[in-house]
């Protein structure tokens, strides 16, 4: 700890200066969790990892005073699907689906949806079982959760629709699979492009994730219990904290301990990076009588690195993480920025509250390898989604992985394994496939949501992924945005409500993003060229508007996931609230 002899040393002024910078750093982290959403973009592809290679590497993960010991068989089982042939992939899917259909009838509603008859083949299952959505399960799940039988499950929580609760029952087998599939994804993140690791139980982990009963919180506790990854701050110690406070506590502790692994919503991690680059605006620092010499020295060294490089402080000046594991549509979009910020890129896992961890990024800058042991996967072509959108009574057709095309886009439809209830369930996740290097077929890239698209003039159907690419390519410092289709003028229009790091010229901002959309979306380019129609416009919001929205929703008692505005096609009330907050902030700055 810092003592009087240190304060009286010749370098004491520098250490004291570093200490006060440290206090500002800690205060600033309370604002890191302003959740963003964005898009993937494939980069340079290197060779894949094969299961034997990763197994040999991860055998180093030996018992270190916590967690369970795991030998070669355990790790080879985690990665064996990477070596499956196409026929083996299909065989595993069929066998596990048959097991699931033998158990699914015990869940409320499942027996009637199958008309009292368990299909004998995959083809029969796809013909007879209906496509479902959360609305088909919500009432039954609520009843089950309230019943004595509901105590047999671990319940994961999230929101859907207009802030309605979604509760998902996990069996003990599915919780076990959740932990194992997550540690497999972490294994890939650790090996990364370098092909080696020294991560062990007791590794210093930052869990930048929501608490239980959110699925990410349940996952963190499973990693602690089974694999000894206790965290820089134990997940149990942060359960009662607000999300921002939880992140702040962990980053503050990491200044003393260092960091080996980051598990984070990629959007939150990017916001942390942005606060570093902005210099961390001062705030009310938490009082503390002393800090360890190691903490102050780490920060002083990092500050020196940044000054020598003539730039702002970056996270990699302070920490050298060995793995970053993220999830969501934004992970690949921010890959290069996060690599620059943290010294290595994030690896991605594909997950949902209803399905758990269903796939992992298996090579540097590559796509997602779907795990055939995580669920039964079907893919609904975009043309079928359109047909269903136009006729709610239409029965959409799906295809299996061997039949997908690298030219098309699909919505993921899955059926749970391990006794969970969801059957032919629409995820809303729009994906496309690329000719990857997996033995069983193509790898997958998430590109947006099936219901969040902007159709203008019948030409273009912009999704969140394409808009994020355009924002990134535009070069303008847009920090947050929403976009929607508006029909108030002579023609339908795409209007973006954007917040920038500093006020910009409206026309230059609009021109930059418009030109980037032309470059990134051929259909948008066709619309502009053929119809001489410029549908895109921007309304600039005052700096801090989205943070103020988050705070206002939190103060109103809204759940975590309801505190950020809907990214695409937000309702009028949300837009009006953002505009009012922007006006208030603008008036305050002008006063």
pLDDT tens column, 207-218 = 988 899 999 999
Per-range mean pLDDT, top range of 76-80, 285-289, 367-371:
367-371
Question: Looking at per-residue confidence, does 462 or 474 come out higher?
Answer: 474
Q: What is the DSSP letter of 501?
A: S
Q: Cα separation of 279 and 96, whole Å?
A: 52
Q: What is the mean pLDDT of residues 164-191?
A: 92
Residue 539 has pLDDT above 50, yes or no: yes
The mean of the pLDDT values for the chain is 81
The torsion region of residue 446 among left (phi > 0), alpha (psi -120 to 50) and beta comes to beta
Per-range mean pLDDT, top range of 54-58, 81-85, 395-399, 469-473:
395-399
Residue 498 pairs in a beta bridge with 481, 540
Q: Cα separation of 157 and 220, whole Å?
A: 15
Which helix (H) or strand (E) segment is 425 a member of? strand 425-438
Q: Which of 386, 465, 375 is nearest to 413 (CA)?
A: 375
DSSP class per residue in 197-248: ----TT--EEEES--TTBHHHHHHHHHHHHH----SS-GGGGTTS-HHHHHH
* H-type alpha helices, 35-193: 51-58, 72-79, 86-103, 110-113, 122-128, 138-146, 172-191
Q: What is the mean pLDDT of residues 418-440?
A: 90
Q: What is the mean pLDDT of residues 339-365?
A: 93
Q: If you search the block for the tokens 């980069």, which residue do you land on?
A: 43
Q: What is the mean pLDDT of residues 135-155?
A: 93
Residue 537 pairs in a beta bridge with 495
Q: What is the mean pLDDT of residues 559-578?
A: 87
Is 269 in contact with 345 (CB distance < 8 Å)? no
Residue 26 has pLDDT above 50, yes or no: no
Per-residue pLDDT tens digits for 181-192 = 999 999 889 886
* pLDDT in the model for residue 516: 94
Residue 412 pairs in a beta bridge with 379
Q: Cα separation of 174 and 197, whole Å?
A: 28
Q: Which of 205-209, 258-262, 286-290 has the lowest mean pLDDT?
A: 286-290
Residue 330 has pLDDT above 80, yes or no: no
Q: What is the DSSP letter of 429?
A: E
138: which 2 tokens?
């919500």
* pLDDT in the model for residue 328: 79
Task: Provide the sign of the torsion angle of the four alpha carbons 86, 90, 95, 99, taken in this order.
Answer: positive
111: which 2 tokens?
């027996």
Q: What is the mean pLDDT of residues 31-44?
A: 28
484: which 2 tokens?
């929607």
Q: Which of 438, 441, 472, 549 is nearest to 48 (CA)?
A: 438
413: which 2 tokens?
């439809």
Residue 174 has pLDDT above 80, yes or no: yes
Residue 31 has pLDDT above 70, yes or no: no
Per-residue pLDDT tens digits for 288-329 = 334 688 888 888 898 899 899 998 889 999 999 999 999 977
Q: Which of 535, 567, 390 is nearest to 459 (CA)?
A: 535
User: Which domains does the chain carry?
Assistant: 453-590 (3.30.300)
Residue 193 has pLDDT above 70, yes or no: no
Q: Cα separation of 462 and 567, whole Å?
A: 13
For residue 470, what pLDDT band results from cuts at 50, 70 and 90?
very high
Pairing of strands 347-352, 323-327: parallel
Residue 28 has pLDDT above 70, yes or no: no
Residue 90 has pLDDT above 90, yes or no: yes
Q: Which of 442, 430, 446 is nearest to 48 (CA)?
A: 442
Per-range mean pLDDT, top range of 12-16, 84-88, 327-331:
84-88
Q: What is the mean pLDDT of residues 127-154?
A: 92
Q: Cα separation of 26 and 388, whole Å?
A: 50
Q: Cα separation of 180 and 187, whole Å?
A: 10
Q: Cα separation of 6 and 580, whole Å?
A: 51
Is 400 in contact with 415 (CB distance < 8 Å)? no
Question: Looking at per-residue confidence, does 192 or 517 come out higher?
Answer: 517
Is 292 in contact with 1 (CB distance < 8 Å)? yes
Q: Cα separation of 398 and 416, whole Å?
A: 17
Per-residue pLDDT tens digits for 94-115 = 999 999 998 876 676 565 567 6
For residue 52, what pLDDT band results from cuts at 50, 70 and 90?
low
* pLDDT in the model for residue 76: 84
Which helix (H) or strand (E) segment is 155 a member of? strand 154-160
Q: Which of 16-25, 28-37, 149-158 has the lowest mean pLDDT?
A: 28-37
Residue 392 has pLDDT above 90, yes or no: no
């Amino acid at each position: 700890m810092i003592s009087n002899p240190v304060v009286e040393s010749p370098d004491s002024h520098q250490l004291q200066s570093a200490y006060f910078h440290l206090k500002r750093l800690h205060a600033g982290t309370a604002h890191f969790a302003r959740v963003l959403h964005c898009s993937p973009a494939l980069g340079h592809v290197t060779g894949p990892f094969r299961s034997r290679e990763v197994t040999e590497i991860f055998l180093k993960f030996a018992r270190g005073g916590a967690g369970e010991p795991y030998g070669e068989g355990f790790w080879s089982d985690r990665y064996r699907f990477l070596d499956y042939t196409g026929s083996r992939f299909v065989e595993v899917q069929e066998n596990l689906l048959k097991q699931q259909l033998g158990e699914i009838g015990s869940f409320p509603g499942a027996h009637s949806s199958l008309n009292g008859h368990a299909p004998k083949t995959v083809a029969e299952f796809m013909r007879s079982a209906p496509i479902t959505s959360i609305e088909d399960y919500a009432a039954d799940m609520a009843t089950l959760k309230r019943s004595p039988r509901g105590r047999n499950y671990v319940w994961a929580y999230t929101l859907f629709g207009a802030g309605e609760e979604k509760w998902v029952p996990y069996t003990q087998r599915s919780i076990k699979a959740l932990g194992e599939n997550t540690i497999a994804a972490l294994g890939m993140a650790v090996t990364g492009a370098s092909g080696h690791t020294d991560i062990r139980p007791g590794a210093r982990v930052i869990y930048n994730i929501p608490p239980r009963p959110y699925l990410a919180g349940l996952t963190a506790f499973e990693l602690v219990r089974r694999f000894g990854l206790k965290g820089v701050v134990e997940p149990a110690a942060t359960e009662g904290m607000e999300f921002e406070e939880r992140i702040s506590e962990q980053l503050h502790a990491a200044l003393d301990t260092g960091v080996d692994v980051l598990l984070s919503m990629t959007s939150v991690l990017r916001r942390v990076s942005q606060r570093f680059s902005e210099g961390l605006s001062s705030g009310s620092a938490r009082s503390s009588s002393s800090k360890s010499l190691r903490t102050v020295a780490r920060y002083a060294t990092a500050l020196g690195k940044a000054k020598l490089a003539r730039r702002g402080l970056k996270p990699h000046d302070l920490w050298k993480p060995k793995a970053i594991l993220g999830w969501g549509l934004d992970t690949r979009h921010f890959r290069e920025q996060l690599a620059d910020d943290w010294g290595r890129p994030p690896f991605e896992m594909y997950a949902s509250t209803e399905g758990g961890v269903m796939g992992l990024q298996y090579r540097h800058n590559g796509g997602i390898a779907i795990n055939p042991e995580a669920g039964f996967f079907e893919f609904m072509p975009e043309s079928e989604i359109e047909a269903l959108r136009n006729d709610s009574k239409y029965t959409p057709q799906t295809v299996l992985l061997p039949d997908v095309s690298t030219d098309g886009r699909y919505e993921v439809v899955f059926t749970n394994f391990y006794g969970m209830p969801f059957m032919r369930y629409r995820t809303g996740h729009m994906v496309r496939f690329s000719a990857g290097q997996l033995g069983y077929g193509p790898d997958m890239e998430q590109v947006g949501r099936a219901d969040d698209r902007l159709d203008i003039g019948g030409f273009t159907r912009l999704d969140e992924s394409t808009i994020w690419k355009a924002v990134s390519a535009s070069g303008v410092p847009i920090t947050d945005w929403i976009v929607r289709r508006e029909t108030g003028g002579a023609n339908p229009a795409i209007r973006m409500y954007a917040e920038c790091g500093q006020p910009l010229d409206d026309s230059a901002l609009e021109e930059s993003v418009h030109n980037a959309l032309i470059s990134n979306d051929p259909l948008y380019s066709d619309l502009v060229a053929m119809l001489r129609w410029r549908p895109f416009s921007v309304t600039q919001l005052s700096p801090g508007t989205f943070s103020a929205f988050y705070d206002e929703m939190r103060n109103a008692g809204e759940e975590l996931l309801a505190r950020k505005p809907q990214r695409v096609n937000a309702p009028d009330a949300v837009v009006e609230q953002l505009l009012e907050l922007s006006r208030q902030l603008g008036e305050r700055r002008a006063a």
